[in-house]
Structure formats: structure tokens, C-alpha cells
Amino acid sequence: MGHPMNQKLKRHPDARTKILPDGHIVLQLKHADWVHVLTPTGAIVWEFADGNLEQNEIISAVLDIPELSEVPDLNSQIDKLISELSSIGLLVSEDYQSEFATANDDTCEKQWKPNKSGSKK
């Protein structure tokens, strides 16, 4: 499910994010029984995938961050991450509409909150 380089990418509208204290983030689709963890650099890629940038623009934006300029082979690592997130459905094209989303559902910006039993919603 790769995307052409000129396709603007966005986070899946049903994606839930949890930011961990060390900068990693945990991602889950509401209807999935798995999670995906991103490194802090991967989290930056995730943030840039807001539907306004194409894949090559996301890569350029991350490469422009001075603190990341010395990371070896970062360009291909980002390309691989984008392909992986696309293939598992966490990144979608800008015109994607979720079959699970509702008019009042803004889960992409929400973080999980533990319920009374301590498990995640």
C-alpha cells in the first residue's frame, strides 16, 4: 500500500497516539489489536504527516532539522518508515476517509487515558 512520492500523506484518522516520557510514541488504530512504537525521530516523521506534505517533502523537512543532520542514512530510514507505516495503514493519502470515523471523532489528536481498571481505552 505504498504511496506515490507526489501523494500528500496524513495520519490515519482512527489512529490513537500515546507519547511516552522518553519521546517514543505508541500508535494504534481503533479497530486493530496491535500497537506500533516509533522512536523520537519516527515521531517527528509522524508529526509531519498532517496531510499537507508529500513524502519527499516530509523527508526534506526532517533532514532540515539540525540535530538530525549527522544521522547516517537518515533519508532511506525515513523512506522505509513511511513505506512501513503506509503498508500497515497508519499513514494514508490525504483524501482517505475512514469507515470508522464519526463527525465528532477526533482521535488523531487524542491521547489514550486509562480507565478506572488501569487499562487503556
0.75 surpassed by pTM: no
Neighbours of 119 (CB within 10 A): 8
pLDDT band of 103, cuts 50, 70, 90: very low
Candidate from 34-48, 53-67, 93-107 with smallest mean pLDDT: 93-107
At 68, phi and psi to the nearest 5?
Answer: -105, 0
Name the residue with higher pLDDT: 99 or 41: 41
Instruction: Give dist(CA 110, CA 72) in Å, integer.
Output: 33
At 115, phi and psi to the nearest 5?
Answer: -85, -175
* pLDDT tens figures, 1-52: 444 557 899 999 999 999 999 999 999 998 889 999 999 999 999 999 999 9
Amino acid at 66: P
Instruction: Give dist(CA 75, CA 115) in Å, integer.
Output: 40
